[in-house]
Each structure stands twice: as C-alpha cells, then as structure tokens.
C-alpha cells in the first residue's frame, strides 16, 4: 500500500514538472515580447512613433533614428527574393510532387533538405566571393556589386527549400482520386496538375510562400554580408529604375545586428524599436500563413 | 480482322487531332520547364557546396584545425578554439533545451489529451501553449538575439558568455525539439500504452518504460537537427557570445563559434581563404548531420513498415 | 450485334505478379456487361485496362491484344482514348469545384471555350445523368456539397460531357445507400441505349438487375485472375456452364 502511494506521488510530481515545461513556451514568447518592448519604450517616448517609422535618416551621432530606409530595404530585398525564388521553388515542388521519377526524387529531396541546412554565413560568404564580383561587372556608375540585387539572389536561394518543401507537402496532400478523375476524362497530366492539383493545394502553397516571406524578412547575417549596409535610402543609381536593385541598402535585421554590440542609451533603445517593428511584421506574416494552412487542412478528402 | 494502322485518336476529325497535338506539346514544354527547375535547384546546391568545399579545401589542413586563431586584421592562425567553443555551446544549449523540449512534448501529447472536457482553463492553456510553440518557430533569430541580449547579457548581467548564448540558443531550438518529439510520440501505437496501463503501471512508468524508448529515434532526430541549427546559427550568438577568439574557460566566458568566426574573417579581415576553409568545415559538418538524420529516419520508417 | 471492346489472350503483370491470365472476351456494343467475381480476381484491374489507367501504375506490363472498334487500343494516345471511354469510380470523386465546373471540366480541357456551348453540354449531361432537376438552380454550388448519390450522378454527368462511347463503372454504388443505388441502377439502364457500359460489381442482385451480359472472374491460391465464363446474364444466373460460377452465384444468394 505504501509502495503504491509512493508511485502515485511520483506520477503526480512528474506531471507537474512536465506541465511547467509545456507552458514554458508561453512564458518565453511573453518574455521576448516584454523585454524587446520594454527596452524600446525610451525610443518610442523620446523620438516618437512617426519619427522612427516614417523618417529615413538614421544618424545615431545626431540622435536621428528614422528606420524607413531599413523598412524599405527589408521589403525590397524580400520582394526580390520572392520574384527570383518562388517560380523556382514552385517548379521544383511540382517536379518533385508530380513529375520526377522515384530515383530523381530520392536525389533531389535530400538536396533541398541540405540547401535548408547550409549556414547563412556560408551563403553570405558565397555571395561576397562569387556573386558580388559578377554583379560588379554591370556597368553602372556607383555600382559596387554589394546591394539589393546580391542580397535578393542570396535570399532567394535561402527561402527556396522552405517554400519547396511546404508546397510539395501541399501537392502531395491532394487526394489521388482527383488526379484519376481528371485523367479519366481525357485531361493530360499537365492539365490535371494545373486545373485540379494546384487549385486543390492552393492554400498550402500560399502558406509556403508566406512562410518564405517570413524567413526572408528575418534573415540577418547573410544580408549584412552582401547588401552593403548603407543607412541611406536606397535609390536607383541612374535614370533606369531597375538600377534600384544595384543600390546598397540595409535591412531591419542588419540594423540591429551591426550596431547593438556598441550602442547605448537612446541608440540602443532605437535598435530595440527596430526589433519591435520586425517582430510585428513577422507576427502578421506568420498569422496569415497559419490562416492559409488551416484552410488547406480543411479541404475534404475523398481518398480512395 | 485487327485494324493495325497506327492512329492516335478515335475521333479522326482534324479539329480533335489538332487539339490533342496542342495539348501534348504544351505538356512537353511545361514538363521540360519543371525538369529544368529541379535541375537548377540541384545545380545551385552543387555550386554552393562544391565551390565552398573545393576553394575552402585548399585552406584545410591538420594545422588549420588544430591551431588557434591569432586574431588581428590579417586572420592568421587556424580554427581550433572556435571548434572547441562550438562544441561547448552545442553541449550547453542542448543540456538546457533537451529536457525542457522533450518534457513539453510529452505533456502536450500524452497528458493534454486526457484532461478532456473537464477543465476548460487547462484546455485554453494547452492551445495557447501549442500556439506559442508555433510562434517561437517563426520568430527570426535576431529577435532571439535581442531578447538574449536584453535579458541574459544585460538584465541578469551574464555578459557576453557561453551561458547567455546557450540560454538564447535553447529558446531558439526549443520548438524544433518539441515538434520532432511530438511527432515521434504520435507514431508510438496506443496499444503499447494500453498494454502497460492494463498491467497496473502508472502513467509515468508507462511513459518512461514503454513509450519513450519507442520514441527515442525520433527524439534523437530532433536533437541532431538542433545541433545543426546551433552550428549554423550566427545572429543569436553574434549579440550574446561576444567575439573573443580564445577558448572559454568557464560558462561565463565569451567566445566565437565556427560560424561567427567565418563572419568575422569575411567582414573584418581579408583572409577570404581562411573564411572559405571555415565554411568548408561547416558545410561538411552539416552534410554529416543530414546524412545521420536520413539514416535514422530511414531506419525508423523501415521499423514502422516492418514491425507490428 | 457489334463487338465494341475485345481482348484476346490478354495478360497483365504487376512486376513479377501475374494478375490476369489469358483473358479473351468480346464486349457487345450498347449493352451492359457486368464483371463479377470474388475480391482479388482482377475485375477492377481488367476494367482499368480499357481506359489505360493501369499505365499510371509503375511496374505494370501487359501482353495480348485489346481492341476498341477493332482498333488496337495500345496504339491510341491514352489521352484521346480516355475521351472516348469515360470512367466512374467506386467512391464519388467530384473535383472541389462548382457543379457547373465539374461537368464543364472535360469539354474545357479538350479545348471548348464557347460558354454558350458549354452551358448546353452541362445541361444535357446533367439531364442524361438524371441530376438536372435537383441541381439546376445551384450550378454554382460546390460539387462536394451534394449528397453521396448526387455526387456519383455528378461524376456520371461529368463523364458523359466528354461524349464517350463507352462508360466503365468500378462498383459505382458500393458507397451508396439503397435509394441512391436504385437511382444509379435506373440510370445505367437508360444509358445503355446509347452507351456501351462495363460495370464491376460485388453485388450479385445488382449484376442480375442491370446487366445484359456477365463475365465471371475467379482466382485460386495463385491470386492470378482468370475469366471462367462469359455469357448472357440470364444464362449465367440460371444455367451456368462452369461449376465454380454456379457455386459463387448460389453461395451469394445463400
């Protein structure tokens, strides 16, 4: 009897310990939000919300802390990465999910997985040593090779595996009965993919792209290494608007990482304010991805 | 009797033939483009890995691996202390994150369900906890860095140290460990649990003796994934670990991991060859990690297919 | 009577596994032919041979001839063939699209753009499938919102819209309730005026009710499916030539 109650007490104790681990995630999320916001309060108070968000001059020496240039930098590089990376990622996902023979799948899928695992500093280094010298050859005055284009290309490769694997999962989740239904009606395999499979997997595919956006907005070190880190507002170098992407820039993430180790006082607080803006952007992006994932999982399946 | 002439359609009208031809041509064109997409993805990987390993390989030597970096602007020396720091940091981070992550997953999978409808407060709490895990997985690493800097480095005054970095890193890998452990637990058949409970074992005895051993390969996969995450991570440690190139002698000392070292070499020195060498070491480590994960999960699927 | 489909010494393998052996049969035009037999005797596999859906399964090999209108079926582009041979599956599988789009799918993929014409085809196909009166006011509603029986008739309408000459049905009523089954059976009867129908069924009464001809498939321990007997349904059910057919049918009738 005594032994038994000892076992029961152990059972209960373990349960409470496990419960605490389970809610630790909640505590961490709240702590992250709390500390980043707390440290940024001074900046919001003394500089003002609009002066931070809408001013584009960042000069810590003169107490000017506008981050609009970095917001634009982050968005521009994300758009660039999406434009370059999404078609390739979706193509690869369709190829893996619908077209590739088994042997090719067995080669390509681990390759995509490996692409996801390569450290961002390695991508950054590859960008510095290989991409930047190539881009530098584009004959435009003021083009150093470092800038939005180099950053967009590096980032496109970095978000490729995220989007590919989520989109492939969404494609594979489409019931086979849809495919056989379409093929039996005399549709070609390609028509089946574009008219039935992709529409049915749409929500999951969109969620993959949005999560790719989230990754792109959050990437730090590789961006610092190839984007040039200029605090100036990015502008086209010549009359040709395309040269905008040859302009140096800085991302929100880069702004934090480059300056946090030596910043103090209001400067440090302004960097935390940058973090708050980034945090808010990411929360919005991830929430919308989650919404699409919910929709995907609610499609009725009539698997045979 | 058999009409053996080769035809492509039964509707022999030209309209239908033309339509069929257009559709099959369209398919061929698009399939080629999809093949190309797959090929380009593969080429990108081979290009990045091949370049880093071949170029970096030139800098690799026993000496490079075993001598400490000397610091300074020319990037003299090897990478021994950064390898050491990486090992310390991986160990310390996992020491913190693994019990918490595995514990959280056990609770969320094994206990949360049995609360049933009896306790609405608990149910809300559990769904918030799941939401929090998802949120953590989506937060960019620099935010973890900022958080670690504000809480561990400044407020708790751990300074730039292994401890600060490991605590911030533990928050970063926590969702990975929780999710992979949850998946592993979900693959353990319910019969195992019922069988053990029916013999009079308590819930925890059942978990500890029956469920967890069955879930071990999945849990190990999560841990190896986390090792990869920590080795690759730079942003978090850039703002929590300092950048000293010496080997930390206690958990209150700072240091630099391989990835951080690569960053410093690339940005602050002109020793691109050494940076590439460090990159090659990183890439090889990541390849080994991926191989071992595929090996374990391959064994796992074989066991699921073969067993029961 | 014309022969619509014919197989001569047809064999099919999944890898090393011999699934169908030496099947020779002539399926008459504009009649209903039922394929019956125990599970695993290869009826469904045989059915899928006619629209070459087996081609999609890797490792499938065949030898022997399959003819449609006396033409070698394997020489026809499978896409064109499937426009000629519609198929209805065991579980209703409408696309997650509107009723209209489900029926218009086939004509659209084969190149029809004219909306007026599409509307005509959708209406006539739904009428032929005895579904028009139930859905004519809700054509924009999702096909998945219909009941199981309605979904199956939608799938039949979808197949008719491509104007096939043959319709293959793989246990089309297996997942339906008796009333919905009754409607499908009535429909099969009506359709046989214009179409050659081949139906796989596990339900002996159903085979007896709807079919003009019956093919009995059987398999022994080797799991290789063989055709035991093919004849008019009333002969198969009243006076079968083979003992195994008789055992199977009487066994089912209890």
> For residue range B21-37, what is the model confidence (pLDDT) as tens digits?
899 999 999 999 999 99
User: Is A112 at the interface with chain B, CB within 8 A?
Assistant: yes
C32-36 and C196-200 beta bridge pairing: parallel
DSSP B11: S
Across the interface, whether the CB atoms of C80 and B3 are under 8 A apart is answered: no
Question: What would you report as the CA-atom Rg of chain B, rounded to the nearest whole angstrom?
Answer: 27
* Closest residue to C82, CB basis, from A178, A184, A302: A184
Q: Which chain B residue has the Cα nearest residue A125?
A: B266
How far apart are the CA of C18 and the nearest CA of chain A, in angstroms?
A: 23
pLDDT in tens, A111-152: 999 999 999 999 999 999 999 999 999 988 888 999 999 999
Token code pair at residue B10: 């039964």
**CA atoms in the 13 A half-sphere facing the CB of C180:** 16
Q: Which residues pair with C213 in a beta bridge?
A: C33, C232
Answer yes or no: are the C-beta atoms of A96 and A163 closer than 8 Å.
no
CA distance C244 to C228: 8
> Do A252 and A68 meet the contact criterion of CB atoms below 8 Å apart?
no
Expressed in angstroms, the distance from the first to the final Cα of chain B is 54
Which residue in B has a C-alpha nearest to residue C68's C-alpha? B10
- Give the per-residue pLDDT at A162: 94
C33-61: buried (b, 16+ CB within 10 Å) or exposed (e) per residue?
Answer: bbbbbbeebbbbbbbbbbbbbbeeeeebe
Q: Does A296 touch chain C (CB under 8 A)?
A: no
Query: Residue B17's pLDDT is what?
Result: 81
CB A207 within 8 A of CB B134: no
Mean pLDDT (chain A) is 90
Give the integer Cα–Cα distance in Å for B239 and B161.
10
Q: What does the block give as tokens for A132?
A: 């930047």
Question: Which residues make beta-bridge pairs with A64?
Answer: A59
Binning pLDDT at 50, 70 and 90, where does residue C142 land?
A: very high
By C-alpha distance, the chain B residue nearest A260 is B239
CA–CA distance, C5 with C27 (Å, rounded to integer): 5
CA separation, residue C89 to residues A83, A182, C76 (Å): 41, 12, 23
Q: Which residue does chain C place closest to A193, by CA atoms?
A: C109
Q: How far apart are CA A210 and CA A281, in angstroms?
A: 12
Among chain B residues, the shortest Cα distance to C7 is held by B2
Distance CA B172, CA C211 (A): 66
Q: Which helix (H) or strand (E) element contains residue C65?
A: strand C60-68
3-state secondary structure of A19: helix
pLDDT tens per residue across span A275-291: 999 999 999 998 888 88
Please judge whether B33 and A108 are an interchain contact, meaning their C-beta atoms are less than 8 angstroms apart.
Answer: no
Tell me the pLDDT tens digit for each residue of C156-182: 999 999 999 999 999 999 888 999 999
Query: CB B24 to CB C71 under 8 A?
Result: no
pLDDT at B11: 52
The shortest C-alpha distance from C175 to chain B (Å) reads 29
CA distance C87 to chain A (A): 6
Q: Find the helix or strand (DSSP H, E) in which B34 lies.
A: helix B14-57
Please work out, in degrees rounded to the nearest 5, the angle formed at the alpha carbon of residue B247 by the alpha carbons of B246 and B252.
Answer: 105
pLDDT band at residue C49, thresholds of 50, 70 and 90?
Answer: very high
Do B144 and A257 meet the contact criterion of CB atoms below 8 Å apart? Answer: no
Render the burial of B96-129: b for 16+ CB within 10 Å, e for the rest: bbbebbbbbbbbbbbbbeeeeeeeeeeeebbeeb
Q: What's chain C's average pLDDT?
A: 91
User: pLDDT tens digit string along C86-135?
Assistant: 999 999 999 999 999 999 999 999 888 899 999 999 999 999 999 999 99
Phi/psi region, residue C5 (left: phi>0; alpha: psi -120 to 50; beta: rest), is: beta
Q: Is the pLDDT assigned to residue A300 strictly greater than 80?
A: no
User: Are the beta carbons of A181 and C155 separated by less than 8 Å?
Assistant: yes
Answer whether residue C253 shows pLDDT above 50: no
Task: Tell me the pLDDT tens digit for each residue of B139-151.
Answer: 999 999 999 999 9
Which residues in chain A have Cβ-Cβ distances shorter than 8 Å to C83? 185-186
CA distance A298 to chain B (A): 18
Topology of domain B64-306 in CATH is MetI-like fold (1.10.3720)
Q: Which residues of C touch A300 (CB under 8 A)?
A: 96, 144
- Closest alpha carbon within chain C to B17: C80
| CB-defined contacts B:C, below 8 A | 44
Compute the distance between CA of residue A140 and CA of residue A138 in angstroms, rounded to an integer: 6
CA distance B240 to B85: 13
Read off the pLDDT of residues B197-220 as tens digits, 9 standing for 90 and up.
888 888 888 888 889 988 998 899
Q: What angle do CA A218, A222, A226 make, to 5 degrees?
A: 120
Which residue bears the tokens 């086209």? A236
* Residue B30 backbone zone (phi > 0: left; psi -120 to 50: alpha; other: beta): alpha
Q: Does B305 have pLDDT greater than 80?
A: no
C-alpha of C208 from chain center: 16
Distance from CA of B212 to the nearest CA of A (A): 14
Tokens standing for B3? 């009409």
Structure tokens at B62: 């026993």
How far, in Å, CA of C168 to CA of B79, rounded? 70
For the stretch B92-119, pLDDT in tens is 999 999 999 999 999 998 888 775 556 7
Phi-psi region of C242 (alpha: psi -120 to 50; beta: other; left: phi over 0): beta
> For residue C8, with 0-12 CB atoms within 10 Å meaning exposed, 13-18 middle and 19 or more buried, which class applies?
middle
Nearest to B293 by CA among B246, B239, B213, B226: B226
Contact B233, B169 (CB under 8 A): yes
Phi/psi of residue A30, nearest 5 degrees = -65, -40
Which candidate from A182, A299, A304 shows the least CB-CB separation from C91? A304
Q: Does the distance separating the beta carbons of B266 and A128 come in below 8 Å?
A: yes
DSSP 3-state of C27:
strand
CA distance C169 to C166: 10
> What average pLDDT does chain B have?
87
Identify the bridge partners of residue C196 per DSSP, sorted by sequence position.
C166
Task: Give domain limits for chain B.
Answer: 4-57, 64-306
Q: Does A116 touch chain B (CB under 8 A)?
A: no
| Residue B286: other Cβ atoms inside 10 A | 21
Positive/negative CA dihedral, B242, B244, B248, B250: negative
Domain ranges of chain A: 47-303
Q: At what angle do helices B141-148 and A252-259 cross, to 10 degrees?
A: 30
Q: What does the pLDDT read at residue B308?
A: 36
Our CA angle for B61, B67, B71, nearest 5°, is 115
CB C49 within 8 A of CB C12: yes
Q: In terms of Cα–Cα distance, which of A163, A224, A44, A49 is closest to B142? A: A224
**Cα separation of A12 and A8, whole Å?**
6
Task: Give the domains, in start order, of chain C with CATH numbers.
Answer: 3-91+164-249 (3.40.50.300)
> How does pLDDT run across C190-233, given as a tens digit for each residue?
999 999 999 999 888 899 999 999 999 988 778 889 899 999 99
DSSP string, A110-141: HHHHHHHHS-HHHHHHHIIIIIHHHHHTS--T
Give me the pLDDT at residue B115, please.
Answer: 59
For the beta carbon of residue C16, count every other beta carbon within 10 angstroms: 7
- Which chain C residues in 72-101 lie under 8 Å from chain B, judged by CB atoms? 72, 75-77, 79-81, 83-84
Look up residue B195 and give its two tokens. 């069988």
**8 Å CB contact of C84 and B24:** no
**What is the rounded distance in angstroms from the CA atom of residue A260 to the CA atom of residue A264?**
8
**CA of A44: how far to CAs of A58, A111, A282, in Å?**
15, 45, 20
Task: Report residue A59: phi and psi, to 5°.
Answer: -135, 85
The subunits that touch chain C, with at least 3 C-beta pairs less than 8 Å apart, are A, B
For chain A, list the contacting chains (3+ Cβ pairs, <8 Å): B, C
At A43-64, the pLDDT tens digits run: 999 998 999 989 889 998 888 8
Do residues C20 and C202 lie in contact, with contact meaning Cβ atoms separated by under 8 Å?
Answer: no
Beta strands C71-72 and C32-36, pairing class: unpaired
Asked if A88 and B34 come within 8 Å (Cβ–Cβ), the reply is: no
DSSP C139: T
| pLDDT bucket at A304, cuts 50 / 70 / 90 | very low
Percentage of chain B with pLDDT > 70?
Answer: 91
Query: Is C70's CB within 8 Å of B7's CB?
Result: no
Helix (H, G, I), strand (E, B) or coil at B4: coil
Contacts of B8 in chain C (CB under 8 A): 76-77, 80
Q: Which two tokens stand for residue C218?
A: 């059987």
Q: What is the CA radius of gyration of chain C?
A: 18
- Band (pLDDT 50/70/90 cuts) for residue C252 is low
Indicate yes or no: CB of B9 within 8 angstroms of CB of C111.
no
Contacts with A188 (C-beta within 8 Å, 6 or more apart), sequence order: B23, B24, B26, B27, C79, C109
CB contact under 8 A, C77 and B10: no
CATH number of A47-303: 1.10.3720.10
Is the predicted pLDDT of residue C38 greater than 60, yes or no?
A: yes
Distance from CA of B43 to the nearest CA of C (A): 28
| Binding partners of B (≥3 Cβ pairs within 8 A) | A, C
In A, minimum Cα distance to B9 occurs at: A186
Q: Do the strands B69-71 and C32-36 form a parallel or antiparallel pair, or are they unpaired?
A: unpaired
Query: Is A236 part of the contact surface with chain C (CB cutoff 8 Å)?
Result: no
pLDDT of residue B7: 44
Give me the residues of A, 150-209, that contact B with CB < 8 A: 157, 160, 164, 188-191
Q: Does the pLDDT at position A38 exceed 70? A: yes
As a whole number, mean pLDDT of residues C56-85 equals 90
Token digits for A105? 């799948």
Is beta strand B76-77 parallel, antiparallel or unpaired with respect to C166-170? Answer: unpaired
Q: Is pLDDT at B6 greater than 60 in this prediction?
A: no
Query: Which residues, 6 or more positions from C117, have their beta carbon under 8 angstroms from its beta carbon?
Result: C107
**Residues forming beta bridges with residue C198, ordered by sequence position:** C33, C168
Question: What percentage of residues in chain B have a pLDDT greater than 90?
Answer: 52
3-class DSSP assignment, residue A173: coil
């Amino acid at each position: 009897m005594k032994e038994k109650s000892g076992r029961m007490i152990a059972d209960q104790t373990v349960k409470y310990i496990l419960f605490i681990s389970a809610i630790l995630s909640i505590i961490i999320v709240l702590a992250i939000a709390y500390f980043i916001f707390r440290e940024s309060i001074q900046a919001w108070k003394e500089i003002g919300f609009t002066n931070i968000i809408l001013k584009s001059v960042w000069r810590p020496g003169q107490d000017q802390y506008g981050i609009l240039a970095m917001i634009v930098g982050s968005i521009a590089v994300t758009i660039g990465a999406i434009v370059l990376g999404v078609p390739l990622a979706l193509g690869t996902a369709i190829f893996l999910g619908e077209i590739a023979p088994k042997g090719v799948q067995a080669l390509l899928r681990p390759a995509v997985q490996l692409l996801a695992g390569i450290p961002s500093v390695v991508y950054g280094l590859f960008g510095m040593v290989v991409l930047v010298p190539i881009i530098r050859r584009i004959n435009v005055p003021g083009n150093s090779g470092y800038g939005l284009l180099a950053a967009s290309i590096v980032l496109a490769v970095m978000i490729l595996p995220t989007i590919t694997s989520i989109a492939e999962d969404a494609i594979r989740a489409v019931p086979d009965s849809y495919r056989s239904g379409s093929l039996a009606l005399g549709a070609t395999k390609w028509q089946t993919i574009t008219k039935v499979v992709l529409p049915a997997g749409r929500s999951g595919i969109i969620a993959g792209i949005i999560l790719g956006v989230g990754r792109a907005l959050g990437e730090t070190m590789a961006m610092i290494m190839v984007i040039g880190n200029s605090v100036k507002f990015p502008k086209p170098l010549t009359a040709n608007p395309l040269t905008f992407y040859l302009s140096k820039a800085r991302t929100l993430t880069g702004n934090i990482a480059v300056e946090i180790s030596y910043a103090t006082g209001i400067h440090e607080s302004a960097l935390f304010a940058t973090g708050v803006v980034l945090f808010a952007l990411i929360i919005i992006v991830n929430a919308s991805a989650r919404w699409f994932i919910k929709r995907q999982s609610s499609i009725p399946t009539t698997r045979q | 009797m058999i009409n053996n002439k080769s035809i492509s359609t039964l509707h022999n009208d030209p309209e239908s033939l033309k339509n069929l031809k257009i559709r099959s041509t369209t398919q061929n064109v698009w399939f080629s483009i999809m093949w190309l997409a797959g090929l380009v993805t593969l080429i990108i990987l081979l290009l990045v890995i091949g370049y880093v390993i071949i170029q970096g390989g030139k800098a690799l030597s026993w000496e490079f691996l075993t001598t400490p970096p000397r610091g300074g602007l020319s990037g003299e020396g090897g990478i021994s202390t950064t390898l050491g720091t990486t090992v310390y940091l991986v160990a310390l981070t996992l020491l913190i994150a693994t019990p918490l992550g595995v514990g959280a997953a056990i609770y969320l999978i094994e206990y949360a369900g049995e609360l049933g409808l009896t306790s609405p407060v608990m149910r809300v709490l559990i769904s918030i906890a799941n939401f929090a895990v998802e949120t953590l997985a989506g937060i960019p690493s620099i935010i973890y860095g900022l958080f670690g800097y504000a809480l561990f480095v400044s407020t708790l005054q751990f300074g730039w140290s292994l401890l600060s970095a490991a605590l911030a890193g533990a928050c970063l890998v926590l969702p990975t460990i929780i999710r992979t452990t949850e998946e592993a637990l979900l693959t353990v058949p319910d019969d195992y649990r019922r069988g053990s409970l029916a013999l009079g074992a308590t819930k925890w005895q059942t978990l500890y003796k029956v469920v967890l051993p069955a879930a071990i390969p999945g849990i190990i996969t999560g841990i190896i994934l986390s090792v990869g995450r920590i080795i690759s991570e730079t942003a978090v440690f850039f703002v929590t670990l300092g950048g000293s190139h010496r080997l930390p002698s206690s958990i209150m000392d700072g240091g630099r991991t391989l990835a951080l070292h690569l960053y410093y070499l690339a940005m602050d020195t002109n020793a691109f060859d050494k940076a590439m060498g460090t990159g090659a070491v990183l890439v090889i480590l990541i390849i080994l990690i991926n191989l071992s994960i595929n090996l374990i999960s391959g064994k796992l699927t074989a066991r699921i297919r073969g067993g029961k | 009577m014309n022969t619509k489909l014919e197989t001569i010494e047809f064999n099919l393998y999944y890898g090393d596994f011999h699934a169908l052996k030496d099947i020779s049969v002539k399926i008459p035009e504009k009649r209903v032919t039922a394929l019956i037999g125990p599970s695993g005797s290869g009826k469904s596999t045989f059915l899928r041979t006619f629209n070459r859906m087996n081609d999609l399964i890797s490792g499938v090999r065949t030898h022997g001839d399959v003819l449609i209108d006396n033409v070698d079926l394997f020489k026809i582009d499978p896409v064109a063939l499937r426009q000629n041979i519609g198929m209805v599956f065991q579980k209703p599988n409408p696309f997650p699209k509107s009723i209209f789009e489900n029926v218009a799918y086939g004509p659209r993929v084969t190149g029809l753009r004219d909306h007026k014409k599409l509307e005509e085809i959708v209406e006539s196909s739904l009428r032929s499938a005895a579904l028009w009166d139930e859905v004519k006011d809700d054509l924009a509603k999702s096909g998945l919102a219909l009941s199981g029986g309605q979904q199956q008739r939608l799938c039949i309408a979808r197949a008719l819209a491509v104007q096939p000459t043959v319709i293959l049905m793989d246990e089309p009523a297996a997942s339906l309730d008796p009333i919905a089954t009754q409607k499908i059976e009535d429909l099969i009867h009506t359709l046989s005026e214009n179409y050659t129908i081949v139906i796989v069924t596990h339900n002996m009464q159903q085979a007896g009710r709807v079919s003009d001809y019956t093919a009995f498939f059987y398999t022994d321990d080797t799991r290789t499916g063989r055709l035991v007997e093919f004849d008019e349904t009333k002969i198969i059910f009243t006076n079968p030539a083979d003992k195994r057919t008789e055992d199977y049918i009487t066994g089912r009738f209890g």
